[in-house]
Structure 1
Amino acid sequence: MLQFIDVPGLVSSIVGAGILAGATATWRWMVVREAEEGEDSMPVGGVRSFRCYTLLRTAGAHGSPEQYETTWPTGTVITHRVDGGHPRRFELTDVQLGDGTYAAEPLD
């Protein structure tokens, strides 16, 4: 006798696989979206830009303000040694100065 495919079993297997694939795709989308929302200053695509910051209220060897280069996002607090090695905290801002660098505000 000729055997037929168990149609109800096949349909339920396909539906189950579809639900599992949809749930996995939704979970991955939510994880990526949550990670992107956590990086407020992160540009679209997840690429950080290299920036040069001028450390306000500092003076280098020639009397000009010291500069700090980084890829850290805006709002990050850094510690930089100034005036003979004393640690001082600065917050990176998105304020661009006339020389093209960005301002790093002293916190201490």
Structure 2
Amino acid sequence: MSLLTDALPGLLSAIGARRHRPCFRRLLPRHLRTAQGAGAAVASDEPRVLRRYTLLRTVGPDGAPDRYETTRSTGTVITHRVDSRPQRFELTDVPLGGGTFAAEPLDYL
């Protein structure tokens, strides 16, 4: 399977379907897509690890900050509902107490 996904961009260029290339890129798994969309696909080196994030500037029903668990990588932007409104947070690699990492708000209300 990886042989096919590695050869797909070159094959499409060779047959002149370059303008349809973004359609085929969406079919590839996210970790095999390239950042700029050019060149051969590159597999991710880092394993996926479940992390717990503390959503900064939020308060849950018990008075503690909201928490979010995910395997998404650092730098990912997530959407979490705060007071029934969607708010975006960026996942960081900044460790906080209790084994959690900081998720910084991007849309502070």
- Matched with 1:89 is 88
Q: Which has the higher helix share?
A: 1
Alignment of 1:72-83 (within 5 A): 72-83=72-83
- Matched with 1:70 is 70
The one-letter code matched in structure 1 to 2:68 is Y
Aligned: 1:35 with 2:43: yes
Structure index of larger Rg: 1
TM-score (ref. length: structure 1)? 0.60
Alignment of 1:3-82 (within 5 A): 31=40, 34-36=42-44, 43=46, 47-82=47-82
Residues matched between the structures, number: 72
The one-letter code matched in structure 1 to 2:48 is R
TM-score (ref. length: structure 2)? 0.59
Identity across matched positions, percent: 61
Displacement after TM superposition at 1:31 (Å)? 4.4
| Runs of 4+ that moved beyond 4 A | none
- What is the alpha-carbon distance in structure 2 between the residues aligned to residue 98 and residue 53 of structure 1? 11
Q: Which runs of 5+ in 1 are unaligned?
A: 1-23, 37-41
